[in-house]
């Protein structure tokens, strides 16, 4: 059975890292920058679906809701697709129960993954205008108290970038290594279900 995974570009490395735990698949990614324009996520996925229509037996979406306000789930219902469980990649990597616990500890938490630590300037600073007007920091982050770096790998350079991001935003820093186990487990379970 041929399987297509349509993923957020922010997950491409992680999907590649767990590929050996999955049935054979092809991967198509849409730009991670669409997180800053969530109304464009579903149309971008529809374009991939239209471009690949009829080429695959099954399609999996490696996406959270990512600010689509339920539009992604409506697309899944309309097209008979399944997606990873969870509202966002933070829940994918930590596992929903662990993520919920972290949110219960402190609602004012800003999260970084490996991808976001690597792309902090292009995904956070520039889109929010903080590179040009740092005085906007308190407007955006005044109610946040901590930054939690949920790392998927053990990379000292990314850890240093995450610490720097916390300083830039004026937030207390915490490091919570998640690895890829919950993400790999859920993607493998979904892939195995589709391949059955």
Is 50 exceeded by the pLDDT of residue 123? Answer: yes
- pTM as predicted: 0.90
Per CATH, the number for 3-87+181-195 is 3.40.50
What residue segments make up the domains of the chain, in order of their start? 3-87+181-195, 96-175
Q: What angle do CA 12, 16, 22 make, to 5 degrees?
A: 120
Label residue 196 by pLDDT band (50, 70, 90): very low
How far apart CA 171 and CA 148 sit, in angstroms, is: 9
């Amino acid at each position: 059975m041929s399987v297509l995974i349509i993923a957020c570009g922010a997950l491409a490395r992680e999907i590649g890292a767990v590929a050996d735990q999955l049935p054979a698949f092809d991967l198509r990614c849409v730009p991670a920058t669409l997180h800053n324009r969530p109304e464009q996520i579903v149309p971008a996925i529809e374009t991939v679906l239209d471009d690949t229509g009829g080429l695959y037996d099954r399609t999996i979406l490696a996406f959270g809701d990512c600010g689509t306000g339920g539009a992604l789930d409506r697309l899944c219902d309309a097209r008979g697709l399944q997606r990873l469980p969870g509202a966002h990649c933070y829940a994918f990597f930590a596992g929903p129960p662990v993520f919920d616990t972290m949110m219960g500890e402190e609602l004012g938490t800003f999260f970084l993954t490996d991808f976001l630590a690597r792309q902090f300037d292009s995904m956070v600073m520039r889109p929010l205008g903080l590179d040009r007007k740092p005085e906007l920091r308190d407007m955006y982050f005044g109610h946040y108290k901590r930054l939690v770096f949920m790392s998927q790998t053990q990379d000292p350079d990314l850890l240093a970038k995450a610490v720097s991001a916390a300083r830039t935003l004026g937030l207390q820093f915490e490091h919570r290594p998640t690895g890829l186990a919950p993400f790999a487990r859920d993607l493998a379970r979904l892939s195995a279900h589709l391949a059955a």
